[in-house]
Amino acid sequence: MPEKQQYVVDSISAGNSWRLFKILAEFVEGFETLDSLYPAVSIFGSARAVPGDETYELTYEIAKKLATHGYHIITGGGPGVMEAGNKGAKEGGAKSVGLNIELPLEQSPNPYSTLKLAFQYFFVRKVMFVKYAQAYIGMPGGFGTLDEIFEALTLIQTRRIKPFPVILVGTHYWGGLMEWIRTTLIDRKFISPDDLDIVTLLDDPDEVLHMIKKYVIL
C-alpha cells in the first residue's frame, strides 16, 4: 500500500479508537450521575411545542403531578415538550433531568433541568432513558419521539428489558398509528395481538398518574 494511503488508513483507525474512549466516557458519566435516580419517568415529545399550546401545557401538568407524588422526570433536556416536562418536575419538587444531545442545528438546554448531561451519541443517550426510567410517556411528537417510543416497545417485546408502562398521551393524535398497527401489522402477523398490551393510550393526567402509581412502587 502506498505510504500516503497507509497514513490515511492509520489516521482513520486511530480516530475510531479515540471515539471508543469518548463513547465509554459518556456511558461512565451517565451511570455515575444517574445511579441513585429512582423512581423516574421518561417523557418524550415534540421540541416544537411552545408555552401556551395544548401539548406543552398538558406535559407540564402531567410532569408536575408525577413530581408531587415522588416521581423524578427525565427528558431530552431541550425545548418544547422537554422543557414542559422539566418545568413541571422542578416546580413539583422532584429531580428534573435533562439529557441533552449535541446536534448540528444546536439544541440549547432548557433552564428547568436541575440535573443535566450532554451527549454526542444518540445511542448512549437512549440507554440512559431506558436504564433509569420505570415508565415511558409519549406526548405528540415527530420522528425522534417515534424512535424513542418504538425503541422501548421493541426492548420490552423482545424481553431485553423488564416490562414497564409505555403510555401514549392523546388518543386523537396517536389513534391513527394504533389503528394502522392493528389493521396492518397484526393482520399480516408481523406482530402478535398480545404485543399491543405493551402500550396504553390515555388522555387524562390523573389516569396517567394512576397507571404509573399502579405499576411503579415508591
| Grouped pLDDT means (10 residues each) for the chain, 218 residues | 46 70 96 96 96 98 98 97 98 97 78 95 95 97 96 95 95 97 96 95 98 90
Quick one: pLDDT at residue 6? Answer: 47
194: DSSP letter: G
Measured CA distances, 44 to 41, 98, 123, 125, 182 (Å): 10, 11, 15, 13, 23
| 44 in Cβ contact with 66 (< 8 Å) | no
The two beta strands, 72-75 and 96-101, are: parallel
Quick one: pLDDT at residue 16? Answer: 80
Q: How many of the other CB atoms lie within 10 Å of CB of 185?
A: 14
Quick one: pLDDT at residue 125? Answer: 96
109: DSSP letter: P
Quick one: pLDDT at residue 34? Answer: 97
Quick one: pLDDT at residue 173? Answer: 98
| 129 in Cβ contact with 99 (< 8 Å) | yes
Q: Is the pTM of this model over 0.85?
A: yes
In our burial notation (b when 16+ CB lie closer than 10 A, e otherwise), range 119-149 reads beeeebbbbbbbebbbbbbbbbbeebbeebb
Quick one: pLDDT at residue 138? Answer: 98
Task: Give the CA count within 13 Å in the CB-facing half-sphere of 188.
Answer: 6
Quick one: pLDDT at residue 217? Answer: 78
Quick one: pLDDT at residue 61? Answer: 98
Q: Comparing C-alpha atoms, which of 27, 38, 30, 116 is closest to residue 77?
A: 116
Alpha helices by DSSP H, listed for the chain, are 3-34, 54-68, 81-91, 122-131, 143-157, 171-180, 205-215
Distance CA 129, CA 44 (A): 10
Quick one: pLDDT at residue 102? Answer: 83
Quick one: pLDDT at residue 9? Answer: 41
